[in-house]
A = this chain, B = another copy of it.
Amino acid sequence: MAERIHALIGAAGYVAPRHMEAMKRTGGALEAAFDPADSVGVMDRYFPDALFFTEFERFAEHLSARRHSPRRVGSISICSPNYLHKSHVTFTLGTGADAICEKPLAMQPEDIDELAALEQETGRKVNTILQLRLHPSIIELRDKVGAGRTVYDVDLTYVTARGRWYYESWKGDDRRSGGIATNIGVHFYDMLTFVFGAPVVNVVHHRAADCAAGYLEFERARVRWFLSINRRDMDGADGFALRAMTIGGIGCFDFSKGFEDLHTVSYREIAAGRGFSLDEVRPAIEIVSLIRQAPLDRHAGRQHPHLARVLADAGRYDRGRPV
């Protein structure tokens, strides 16, 4: 197989090194990278010969100049702020390359339709990084759940403390990240559709900059979910599970290790033509889109047990800057 030539959008961000690692380990090369910020010394570890641009237009021109060369870029990896994913995927397909996009692929379900039309038109593919689907325990769980008629009771809890910087960064800006359900929760909603089938009910109980909670029903699960980046929610004094999914009758799945190291596996699958397609991505995008817009209704569905604690406690948290 010919060496895969990559480009990278968002080279100075948090997740970019995982992509460079994955490119390296799957035998790929990085031709060019872009980021408006220039703190990209990490490139030395992986691809010191890659070109780097701080202006998108010059990056685009470089790819254009290479499009007829034997070393043309075949795949562009997208690690930009969420609200730019769709623009960057559109750009990617326009250059004649496939996209490997970080989650969430897009902000709205309609975006998926537009990208599908572009896939059709260009003959290129949009792949999304959805690494939980590649985690052996999740695959095992899906096999156990199967396509049966059992409907499981699931509690999904994910607490991961983030400091005040988070709220000042694009991740803390709803218009650029979509908020924590869209930015962090999407991993889990996607995994839930993968394991338990199509979503059928979506109720939001709480939605704040630091914490969100709600109730989701899938074909084979009733899920009380709770997400938080507030350190307050880290103290397990009352036996608070921090990063876990408990599935009635099956047991408990621990998210605190391993699941974020699956970029290399993702790249391998993509190279083999098994990247996750737009249709696979769509349900989770529909879920987060709804979660962003749904009116809060604390009486519908079932509340996650930790929510009461948060609501009682609302005053305790100071993010330094109101949303």
Interface residues of A (CB under 8 A from B): 11-14, 33, 36-41, 43-44, 47-58, 60-61, 64-65, 84, 86-88, 90-91, 94, 114, 118, 161-165, 168-170, 231, 320
* Cα distance, A291 to B218, chains bound together (Å): 42
* Cα distance, A169 to B94, chains bound together (Å): 28
| Chain B residues, Cβ within 8 Å of A84 | 55, 57-58
- Interface contact B164-A88, CB-CB below 8 Å: no
Given the contacts A14-B39, A84-B55, A114 and B320 also touching, CB distance less than 8 Å: no
- Interface contact B168-A38, CB-CB below 8 Å: yes
| Chain B residues, Cβ within 8 Å of A51 | 164, 168, 320
Cβ-closest 10 pairs across A and B: A48-B163, A52-B165, A38-B169, A37-B37, A57-B87, A61-B87, A61-B90, A52-B168, A40-B165, A56-B56
Given the contacts A14-B41, A39-B14, A57-B88, A64 and B94 also touching, CB distance less than 8 Å: yes
- Interface contact A169-B40, CB-CB below 8 Å: yes
**Nearest CB on B from A323, distance (A):** 9
- Interface contact B48-A161, CB-CB below 8 Å: yes
* Cα distance, A164 to B59, chains bound together (Å): 14
- Interface contact B52-A64, CB-CB below 8 Å: no
**Nearest CB on B from A11, distance (A):** 8
Q: Which single member of B44, B58, B90 contacts A87 (CB below 8 Å)?
A: B58
The residue on B at minimum CB distance from A60 is B91
| Chain B residues, Cβ within 8 Å of A11 | 165
* Cα distance, A320 to B47, chains bound together (Å): 14
List 11 A-B pairs, Cβ < 8 Å.
A11-B165, A40-B169, A47-B163, A51-B320, A52-B163, A58-B84, A58-B87, A60-B60, A61-B91, A64-B118, A94-B94
Q: Which single member of B37, B64, B320 contacts A90 (CB below 8 Å)?
A: B64
| Chain B residues, Cβ within 8 Å of A53 | 168
* Cα distance, A211 to B209, chains bound together (Å): 27
* Cα distance, A124 to B151, chains bound together (Å): 59
**Nearest CB on B from A5, distance (A):** 16
Q: Most chain-B Cβ atoms within 10 A of its Cβ — which of A33, A52, A64, A88?
A: A52
- Interface contact A165-B50, CB-CB below 8 Å: yes
The residue on B at minimum CB distance from A68 is B121
The residue on B at minimum CB distance from A93 is B64
Given the contacts A61-B87, A65-B114, A164 and B39 also touching, CB distance less than 8 Å: no
| Chain B residues, Cβ within 8 Å of A162 | 41, 44, 48
- Interface contact A44-B90, CB-CB below 8 Å: no
* Cα distance, A162 to B48, chains bound together (Å): 7
| Chain B residues, Cβ within 8 Å of A94 | 64, 94
| Chain B residues, Cβ within 8 Å of A91 | 57, 60-61, 64
| Chain B residues, Cβ within 8 Å of A164 | 48-52
**Nearest CB on B from A14, distance (A):** 5
Q: Most chain-B Cβ atoms within 10 A of its Cβ — which of A57, A91, A94?
A: A57
- Interface contact B61-A168, CB-CB below 8 Å: no
- Interface contact B43-A165, CB-CB below 8 Å: yes
| Chain B residues, Cβ within 8 Å of A44 | 161-163, 165
